Structure 1
Amino acid sequence: MIRGLYTAVSGLITQEAKQDVITNNLANANTTGYKADDIAVKQFREVLLQNYDGGNGSKPVRQELGSISLGSRIDETKTYFTQGMLNQTNKDMDFAIDGRGFFSVQRGNNTYYTRDGHFHVNAQGYLVNDSGDRVLGRNSTTGAVEPIIVNNGKIKSDDNNNVFVNDRLAYTFNTADFQDYNALKKVGDNLYEGQAPINGNVHVKQGFIEKSNVNIVNEMVNMMTVMRSFETNQKMVQIIDETLNKAANEVGSVR
């Protein structure tokens, strides 16, 4: 009975975590380049049930009755990197990646990666994202990777990811790709942390932004399913608690 209580509580914890992920997905349904998350759930190790009988002699014989699960637990949070729909804005500062790849941005001394190409120019003349992180490019003269400076110039890019400032070739977007997207880690502000980026074939389109890949209808259905599962586990906890109360205070009592 106690084991059943633990199983139901583990279900409550799991469903609460799934609800948090769904809520976050819905909150970011309109966030540029956001990728939806989901939680992978797996069972705890199953326990083998067995008993002993007297056997034919004095030595007891073990009999296997089956197995019982100890409940569920969170395995991992998985991000779905499917392509979001590209929305044409015709704005010079809007960029979208069509297919695989990421923009690279600088925050402090660290480099992070993002699919969010909604950029603008800050007071210092740097091309930055909405969080103020500087967008990185490869200098066309020196070949060095550095923040892109636009100042008051007009920015334009071509099909080879070259960046022109006032019709002069100045940079190439320092885009990156990864062999295994599962190794990427979300660090907040629509940024990812990753190791060993590769120079993949990344296609940047100017005048577009990539919308979130969150499917609102699916998320609402998942939310209702999670709520029903949570209510079921909650009811099981109440039933087991009432049963334990009766076993402790009523069964075997002397009147």
Structure 2
Amino acid sequence: MIRGLYTAASGMIAEQRKHDTITNNIANLRTPGYKQVNAISRSFPEMLIALTSGQAGSGGTSQTIGRLNTGVLAEEDPSLYVQGDLKETKNGFDFAIASDIQEDGLDFNGRGMAFDADGNRVFQKQLFFTVQGADGETRYTRSGSFGVSEAGDLITADGDKVLGLDGQPVKLVNPDTGQALTSVTATADGRFLDPVTGQPLLDAAGRQLGVLLSRVDNPNRLVREGNGVYRINPGDEGTVTALTDRNGERNEELGTLVDNHQAVLRQGYLEQSNVDPAQSMVELNTALRAYEANQKMVQYYDRSLDKAVNEVGKV
């Protein structure tokens, strides 16, 4: 009976965590670049129950009754990194990455996952903006809601500096006046042009300005830090490739993705959250009903224990 109480209680905890995850997704329906989080549950190891007659070694027999489940736990909260819809804002400093990177021999499903010839699970590679946090460390985001500070730094909505093609923060200033630029034109591969002349915008060293896009081979290895920002785990640096210009020319890999319509940077657009509101509401109600069912089981065991202690004990 006590075991059943713990089993029902573990179900309540797991459903509460699932409920919290879903409500967080719903709260971020309109957050640019937000990636849906999924709560995955698994059961504790089952136990084989048997009825034993006599003592061990005395020739007693045992009869198998069956397996007993010992509860459930919310194991992990993986994110869904598939492409979100693009919404036009007509703001020249809003950018959205539209990427659908394919690999030969792999057929990715709607969750960005496929299986290779050996049956190994493979996740679809994704592109991210590369930014510099307040601590100076590199971070990654899909939210392209940028702006320009008074000093001419291209920054995110949270004030992180956007990294450019040379791996350094982008500085958009007029070389003649030193004032911050109020407009730029971006190419499909993220390089900046003068909106009037169409000529490449250059930094003080004569290098072309643009935003640094990074390819993450397994986005599920990223660590969510909040506000749509991710960091890479120590030791996983090899799974991230910075797609920078080489010698002032277009990066070959990024250029191939753009030419094959597998990646493009859209100016004046923002990527919307990839949360499905209808499915989220269904999952929210399902989690609520499962929580209530486990709650009733806890109440049932509580009443049974009450009878066992206060009524049966008097007989």
- Normalised to the residue count of structure 1, the TM-score between the two structures is 0.92
Alpha-carbon displacement from aligned partner over 1:53-77 (angstroms, at most 9, x marks no partner): 259x942123322111111011111
Does structure 2 retain, via aligned residues, the 8 Å contact 1:127–1:150?
A: yes
Q: Which residue of 120, 134, 141 maps to 2:161?
A: 134
1:172 is aligned to 2:213: no
Partner of 1:10 in structure 2? 10
Q: Whole-Å Cα distance in 2 between the matches of residues 45 and 58 of structure 1?
A: 30
Partner of 1:183 in structure 2? 221
With 170-179 and 90-99 compared, the bigger mean Cα shift is at 170-179
Percent of residue pairs identical: 37
Alpha-carbon displacement from aligned partner over 1:168-210 (angstroms, at most 9, x marks no partner): 3332321111111111110111101124212464521111110
Unaligned segments of structure 1, at least 5 residues: 139-143
Letter in 2 for 1:234: Q
Letter in 2 for 1:238: Q
Query: How far off is 1:238 after superposition?
Result: 0.5
How large is the Cα RMSD of the aligned pairs? Answer: 1.7
1:145 is aligned to 2:206: no
Q: Which residue of 128, 131, 143 maps to 1:105?
A: 131
Letter in 1 for 2:25: N
Alpha-carbon displacement from aligned partner over 1:21-72 (angstroms, at most 9, x marks no partner): 11111110000010010111000000110121259x9421233221111110
Q: Whole-Å Cα distance in 2 between the matches of residues 253 and 114 of structure 1?
A: 66
Partner of 2:191 in structure 1? 162
Q: Which aligned pairs between 1:9-158 and structure 2 lie closer than 5 A?
A: 9-54=9-54, 58-99=58-99, 100-107=126-133, 108-138=135-165, 144-151=166-173, 152-153=180-181, 154-158=183-187
Q: Secondary structure at the match of 2:75?
A: strand
Query: How far off is 1:85 after superposition?
Result: 0.5
Does structure 1 retain, via aligned residues, the 8 Å contact 2:18–2:74?
A: no
Partner of 2:111 in structure 1? none
Letter in 2 for 1:247: A
Unaligned segments of structure 2, at least 5 residues: 100-125, 174-179, 203-208, 244-252, 255-262
With 5-14 and 185-194 compared, the bigger mean Cα shift is at 185-194
Partner of 1:141 in structure 2? none
Q: Whole-Å Cα distance in 2 between the matches of residues 160 and 82 of structure 1?
A: 20
Q: Whole-Å Cα distance in 1 between the matches of residues 267 and 73 of structure 2?
A: 44
The 4+ residue runs of structure 1 with deviation greater than 3 A are 165-168, 199-202
1:243 is aligned to 2:304: yes
Does structure 2 retain, via aligned residues, the 8 Å contact 1:150–1:165?
A: no
Q: Are the structure 2 counterparts of residues 159 and 252 from structure 1 closer, same or farther at C-alpha, using a change threshold of 3 Å?
A: closer
Q: Secondary structure at the match of 1:98?
A: strand
Letter in 1 for 2:46: E
- Normalised to the residue count of structure 2, the TM-score between the two structures is 0.75
Q: Whole-Å Cα distance in 2 between the matches of residues 61 and 82 of structure 1?
A: 56
Q: Which aligned pairs between 1:216-231 and structure 2 lie closer than 5 A?
A: 216-231=277-292
Partner of 2:249 in structure 1? none
Does structure 1 retain, via aligned residues, the 8 Å contact 2:87–2:271?
A: yes
Q: Secondary structure at the match of 2:213?
A: coil
